[in-house]
Amino acid sequence: MSHNAPGRRAGDLLGLGAFIGLCLTIAAIGARFTMPSIGTWYRALQKPFFNPPDWIFGPLWTVLYLMIAFAGWLAWRSRHVAGARDVDPAEAEVIASRSIRSVSVDDLASPDALVAAVRATGARNIYVHIALDVLDPSAVTGLADLVPFGLSVPTLTSAVTELRAAFTIVGASIVGFSPTSPAAATDDLPSILRIIGALTR
């Protein structure tokens, strides 16, 4: 699934505006309850000689809240979906409305497309969430959703290895493994261990 750049840019700017609005609203509520205290107990406090003047707190807190909004917006806009093949209408709506970038299974034949997509966000630290149904059912049989034409285990581990080389992985999750029996789980164990190894090596 792809979205045109102007639509994505508009969604990004709308998201940034929402984050700024939310953070400044929280700041205004905090100021509403804090301002009456400045003239009472705060003035009576014994403060060190390097205590900044009162007038500087407003601008500094505003900058701080704007930085919080910007950080939240960066995290919000930096999500990617890679290798999804069976997207239901509700998921498609979320992907479209939040301008979540998608990298197709075909593009993942070389991990360069995924690395480039993540690098374009400016991220240095990433969280990797692997839903195992990104794999082809022939690669791992114990999948919650069996959708054909997915990735092979070597293609997935290669993509993860390239992500690890380019970015710092700060956390990861693997979901969607639902073998029908202990024996089936044992059959899939080498593939699961290869994926875990790619995340932790």
Instruction: State whether 103 and 63 are in the same domain.
Output: no
CA distances from 2 to 59, 91, 104 (A): 41, 14, 9
Instruction: State whether 72 and 91 are in the same domain.
Output: no
Kindly tell me if the per-residue pLDDT of 4 is higher than 60.
no
Indicate the residue among 17, 41, 76 that finishes a domain.
76
Q: Pairing mode, if any, of strands 168-175 and 80-82?
A: unpaired
Instruction: State whether 169 and 186 are in the same domain.
Output: yes
Give the per-residue pLDDT at 161.
92
Number of folded domains in the chain? 2
Whether 134 and 156 have beta carbons less than 8 Å apart is answered as yes
Q: What is the pTM of this model?
A: 0.56
Least confident among 15-29, 71-85, 109-123, 184-198: 71-85
Kindly tell me if the per-residue pLDDT of 6 is higher than 60.
no
Q: Which domain holds residue 60?
A: 5-76
Q: For 12-52, write each residue's pLDDT tens digit.
A: 788 888 889 988 898 888 888 887 777 778 778 888 988 88
CA distance 171 to 125: 9
Give the per-residue pLDDT at 2.
38
Residue entry with tokens 């970015």: 167
- What sign has the CA pseudo-torsion 150, 151, 153, 156? negative
Is the model more confident about 57 or about 84?
A: 57
Indicate the residue among 47, 76, 105 that finishes a domain.
76
Whether 198 and 160 have beta carbons less than 8 Å apart is answered as yes
Q: For 124-155, write each residue's pLDDT tens digit.
A: 878 788 888 888 888 888 877 777 788 889 98
